[in-house]
Amino acid sequence: MRARANDTLVMFAIALGAFTLAAAAGLINLLGHGQYTVALIALFAGIAILASMASLEIALLCLCVLSFTDGMLKGLDPTGMSVFAKDLFLGLALVRWGWLNLVRGDWSSLRIPLVYPAVLFIVYCTAQVVNTTTLSSVVALAGLRSWIVWIPVAFLAYYTIRHQWHVQWLLIVLLTLSVSTSIYGIVQYHIGFDHLFQLGSGFAFYNRFGWDEQTVRATSTFVSPGTFGAAMSLMVIIALGALWYLQNWPGKALALLTAAAGVVGLGTSGSRAPLLAAAVGGVAMLLLVRRPRVVWTVAIVVLLGVLMVTTLASGAFARRYNLRMLNAPLIIHRIMLPFSRGFQSALDHPLGTGVATGVGLGRAANIVQETEGNLEVAQESWGMVENEYGRALRELGIPGATLFIALLLTALHGGLVACRKCRTTAFLTLAAASTGAMVCTLAQLTGGSALYLAPGGSLFYLSYALAMRLPELEAVALNRQAEEATEQQAVAAGSRPVSRLYVRRLRHGL
């Protein structure tokens, strides 16, 4: 008790100091420049920092909100503060997590199977920063961040999810964010980006996502249509699992609306890889559940979403989801060409060329030119970012790509084991949905950086942590139900209430 009181007192003092500094910064800005918007943002940031220092749950909530509004934040402040904000709250969550582990002595989150491949992969990527072929230290740090930034979310989420109400809280937050962004994406598809251009010049990069003067590919609050579609493909699968897990009707209605609106949002984005990956992940979910009621429910929800797509996003389907754009030779070419380049590079450089050095199939070439324009970048670096496995082979070499695949397969194996352990329909369906979301991400990696751009990476590791916790929570719930049933039988047989200790002894035959 004393340790917990000291923990609370110290964190409160730190949070109060951060809040005071943020409030002072907002007040100074307001008095000096009269910028009310910046002052309010500084004040809300101080409140969020305070809450994140006091609660790991709030820190994860802030991370989720920032992930789902990444594009909007980049448009409002194109200087890179949105990247700093995600890193800040991730750092606060890690500090809080480490503090709680030290105070409580609970290191269970470091005993999950993902620990060893994650640590080895992080160490290897860090070593690649000093690779002799690295063209820029700035790019090397950016590349390191792109590979490992979201891995800690798995351990943070696993530590946080300890009770069923934690699962419900997490699902409600994700569903609310998803349905809000999907509805806004549908509206944006019809009205365009003009309302965003009026907010500032930072939204000018959205101009490249228009087909013509009347039609755009919706980005919602994300950085690109592909990121929007990737988020919706994952959330549709998670929402289908939440539909069976959440027991109250408002929660079920929210999950149903999220799934249907997510299908439409995916359509308005015009993203092909997320659409195909969602189909793969959805099939994986149904194969893991194998419950006729669940299959019929999923079929009805998807049919409802498709009917809504034909009404609200028919133009996107006509332009992007047709035989010309979805033909097998084109898809195979855009997936296999970068992979073959990465494989050839791994043969020439078995230990890799360094994380995002400017010669990888990544986002490094333009970063090098923007930050250090005097450097010459290899012409081949301008290849399409269409296969993350190929990028791993080129930048990390054979050992790094092996560790990367081992990390992904370990996460997938954890989800499969969780599905095998769960017995009730509610827990099994949510575990299967979490595993299906991971399968969806693995499929998307063949067509882009699905583990780097928010919120794809965070959702992948959140899904893993959720799947790992569900069998434990189900066992607790079933044990509680059995004790309550035994207690009712004992009360019915006797004339007065009995203690829980007596019920447990009676149940276990002691």
Reduced 3-state DSSP string for 14-57? HHHHHHHHHHHHHHHHHHHHCCHHHHHHHHHHHHHHHHHHHCHH
The predicted pLDDT at position 370 comes to 47
Residue with tokens 């964010």: 177
CA distance 216 to 384: 22
Question: Which pLDDT does position 368 carry in this prediction?
Answer: 47
Whether the pLDDT of residue 357 is over 60: the answer is no
Is residue 327 predicted with pLDDT exceeding 90?
no
Give the largest CA-CA distance in the chain.
88
CB 230, CB 444: distance < 8 Å: yes
Looking at residue 384, what is its pLDDT? 43
Q: What is the mean pLDDT of residues 66-73?
A: 87
Is residue 489 one of the residues assigned to a domain? Answer: yes
Quick one: average pLDDT of 250-265?
92
**Model pLDDT, residue 210:** 67
8 A C-beta contact, residue 361 and residue 335: no
Q: Count Cβ atoms below 10 Å from residue 136 Cβ, excluding itself.
A: 20
Dihedral over Cα of 29, 31, 34, 38: its sign: positive
Residue 21 lies in a domain: no
Helix (H/G/I), strand (E/B), else coil: 210: strand
* Percent of the chain surpassing pLDDT 90: 33
| Two structure tokens written together for 105 | 């002595």
Q: How confident is the prediction for the chain on average, in pLDDT?
A: 79
Across the range 467-486, mean pLDDT stands at: 87
Q: Which range marks the domain in which residue 487 is found?
A: 479-508
Q: Terminal CA-to-CA distance of the chain, rounded, Å?
A: 33
**Is 310 a domain residue?**
no
pLDDT digits (tens, 9 = 90+) for 130-139: 876 666 677 7
- pLDDT, tens digit, for every residue of 329-350? 666 666 677 777 778 878 888 8
Q: Is residue 495 part of a domain?
A: yes
Query: Does the structure show a pLDDT above 70 at 270?
Result: yes
Does 492 fall in a domain?
yes
pLDDT at residue 4 tops 80: no
Q: Which tokens belong to 326?
A: 């979805």
**Which of the two residues, 120 and 331, has the higher pLDDT score?**
120
Share of the chain above pLDDT 70, in %: 73
Q: Is the pLDDT of residue 506 over 50?
A: no
Question: What's the pLDDT at 316?
Answer: 60
Looking at residue 419, its pLDDT comes to 95
Name the residue type at position 95.
V
**Tens-place pLDDT, residues 185-202:** 999 988 888 888 887 777
Say if 175 falls within a structural domain: no
Kindly state whether residue 503 falls inside one of the protein's structural domains. Answer: yes
Confidence of residue 213 (pLDDT cuts 50, 70, 90): low
The set of residues, in sequence order, having a beta carbon less than 8 Å from that of 291 and lying 6+ positions away, is: 425, 428, 429
- Dihedral over Cα of 285, 231, 62, 254: its sign: negative
Confidence at 123, pLDDT banded by 50, 70, 90: very high
C-alpha 481/C-alpha 245 separation (Å) is 17
Kindly state the average pLDDT of the residues 260-265: 91
Most confident of 129-133, 244-248, 360-364, 382-386: 244-248
* Contacts of residue 439, Cβ cutoff 8 Å, sequence gap at least 6: 280, 281, 284, 285, 412
pLDDT of 408 above 50: yes
Single pTM value for the model: 0.84
| 211 pLDDT more than 90 | no
Question: Is 468 in contact with 109 (CB distance < 8 Å)?
Answer: no
Considering its fold, how many domains does the chain have in total? 1
Query: How confident is the model over 456-473, as pLDDT tens digits?
Result: 899 999 999 999 999 999
b/e burial code for range 280-303 (CB count within 10 A of at least 16 → b): bbbebbbebbeeeebeebbeebbe
**Is residue 344 a part of any domain in this protein?**
no
pLDDT tens for residues 278-308? 999 999 999 999 888 888 888 888 888 777 7
